[in-house]
Amino acid sequence: MRNDHDWPLPLYSAAQVRELDARLIAAGTPGFELMQRAAHAAWRALRQRWPQAGAVTVLAGAGNNAGDGYLIAELAQRAGWDVRVLAVGEPERLQGDAALARGAAQAAGVAIEAWHSGAELRGVLVDALLGTGFAGELRPHYAQAVETINGAGLPVLAVDIPTGLHADTGCVAEQAVRADLTVTFIGLKIGLFTGDAPDWVGELVFDDLQAEPELVAQQSSVARRLAGSAVPPLAPRARTAHKGSFGHVLVIGGDRGFGGAALLSAESALRAGAGLVSLATRPEHLVASLARLPEVMCQPTESTYQLPELCARADVLVVGPGLGQQAWGRSLLSAAAASARPQVWDADALNLLAAGSVELPADSLMTPHPGEAARLLGIATAEVQADRPAAALALARRYQAVVVLKGAGSLVAAPDGRLLLCDRGHPAMAGAGLGDVLAGLLGALRAQGLEAFEAAALGVWLHAGAGMRQGELGRGLAASDLIPTIRQLLEEHAPCLK
């Protein structure tokens, strides 16, 4: 049911969605009508996913999320299903539209009883406990209800967002509902796509509740989704084009024992369309480079003194794949940092940057995974994962660079506060070398004329899309498998000829 081609691009915080909801009400759509639309959307999704279930148990809290749940129960009751609501929150606390929703469920004959740990659960479980109102940790009775839901072995639909998942960060509480299906409304919440979210949201369905596009367009967002319709293309190539027209990428890396990382980056840059690719690496890797990549100009590099001339001939530097943190890698990184060329820093270049060994040049792009991001920010990896959007923006501002924070829901952040999120990818991508492929790809896109933020947007989208396509084959994905698929996707997105 997930059809993200039709989804909007803006991603919102919980507060921004509440503000959008208020705008719709102020413009003339009653809040109870919006609640009814949400219930109908969730009920449609539930019936489509589990048409033969015949029974629904709604676990309701004490806010508007509970109101959605009561109205779902009413719809199921009128359809002849076996329905009941277990009230986890105190029903007398319900106010406004949520109270009206409870009254509608009662009028339809829905059985409503107080939740207790021994309550029987049957059919599809509907999580209508907290929604986007969750923050911090769950109160004990809510935590017990969540534990019961997860242990029931029954299908679970989460209304708007699974209870215990933070709508702004994708971080989960100690207890959180693990949904099979989440139906979210009005605006897409950023926390549904990054951090821990992919393991808790399940299948995602979005319904805008017939919100007026003009009103939605007025609402600010915290980020935007990367989608094929929004990522920048490369321009078509003139028929008179030649290798000097599309940039020269120099990959610097490959200490002893890590030569493969540098080769992967060089191959990726070559296949992504860079006109020329050079590789500065240990002399021991010359034979392997010539055998695997005869098109790449491999430059055996023993010392720093050889690097300035190589940098001067290049248009973009990709620094860090397999670089290591020993004297050889440190000296090459220092020489690269002295170059005025646009640069992509990855892997040990970032670890050495975090250690204070060097400063990042201007007009750079960095690609940390969460552990590297934590070292760069001087915090724990868990803190990065607890709020990935904030961590990505903090890195971009601190280092005045475009940042790709890798991981589930990869983020692209700029120093001026722009933030993009990639919700593509596949768990088969959990393997070594994929970051090296991404670094080379970004270098090639920069060499072909894209600015750092544009290159990061297109590169991350291509890389994740290739992972999705290759991931369909299952486990055992090798980093080099992505390279021909990236080339294919790039041609589909931006054909070489008009």
Distance of CA 62 to the CA centre of its chain: 31
Residues 6+ apart with CB under 8 A from 59: 69, 85, 86, 88, 115, 125, 126, 127, 128, 129, 145, 149
Residues paired with 140 in a beta bridge: none
Across 191-335, the runs of DSSP E, i.e. the strands, are: 203-207, 223-225, 248-252, 276-281, 297-300, 316-319
pLDDT of 133: 80
Mean pLDDT computed over 261-284: 97
DSSP conformation class of 360:
P
Quick check: 1 pLDDT over 90? Answer: no
135 marked ligand binding residue: yes
406 marked ligand binding residue: yes
Mean pLDDT computed over 72-77: 98
Q: What is the CA radius of gyration of the chain?
A: 26
**How far, CA to CA in Å, does 151 sit from each of 60, 73, 145, 204, 270?**
18, 22, 10, 21, 50
C-alpha–C-alpha distance, residues 444 and 240, integer Å:
20
163 marked ligand binding residue: yes
Amino acid identity at 96: G
Q: Report the topology of domain 10-223.
A: Rossmann fold (3.40.50)
What one-character-per-residue DSSP string does 281-304 give?
E-GGGHHHHHHH-TTSEEEE--SG
113 marked ligand binding residue: no
Q: State whether residue 487 is helix, strand or coil.
A: helix
- If one counts every other C-beta atom within 10 angstroms of the C-beta of residue 492, the result is 11
C-alpha–C-alpha distance, residues 490 and 231, integer Å:
11
Q: Are 201 and 165 in contact (CB under 8 A)?
A: yes
Residues paired with 364 in a beta bridge: 343
409 marked ligand binding residue: yes
CA contacts within 13 A on the Cβ side of 432: 6
Q: Structural domain boundaries of the chain? A: 10-223, 243-493
142 marked ligand binding residue: yes
C-alpha–C-alpha distance, residues 461 and 464, integer Å:
5
- Please say whether the dihedral angle defined by the alpha carbons of residues 203, 207, 213 and 216, taken in this order, is positive or negative: negative
Locate 432 and state its tokens: 């070594």
C-alpha–C-alpha distance, residues 253 and 279, integer Å:
8
Nearest to 71 by CA among 112, 113, 100, 111: 100
408 marked ligand binding residue: yes
pLDDT 10s digits, 419-455? 999 999 999 999 999 999 999 999 999 999 999 999 9
Measure the CA angle with vertex 150, ends 145 and 153; round to 5°: 125
pLDDT 10s digits, 352-390? 999 998 999 999 999 999 999 999 999 999 999 999 999
228 marked ligand binding residue: no
322 marked ligand binding residue: yes
133 marked ligand binding residue: yes
pLDDT of 2: 40
Across 38-155, the runs of DSSP E, i.e. the strands, are: 55-60, 82-87, 111-114, 124-128
Quick check: 5 pLDDT over 60? Answer: no
C-alpha–C-alpha distance, residues 79 and 92, integer Å:
27
Quick check: 91 pLDDT over 90? Answer: no
474 marked ligand binding residue: no
* pLDDT-based confidence at residue 460 (cuts at 50, 70, 90): very high
Q: What is the second-level CATH architecture of the domain 243-493?
A: 3-Layer(aba) Sandwich (3.40)
DSSP conformation class of 435:
H
261 marked ligand binding residue: yes
pLDDT 10s digits, 238-248? 999 999 999 99
Share of the chain above pLDDT 90, in %: 93
320 marked ligand binding residue: no
C-alpha–C-alpha distance, residues 124 and 54, integer Å:
8
242 marked ligand binding residue: no
Mean pLDDT of the chain: 95
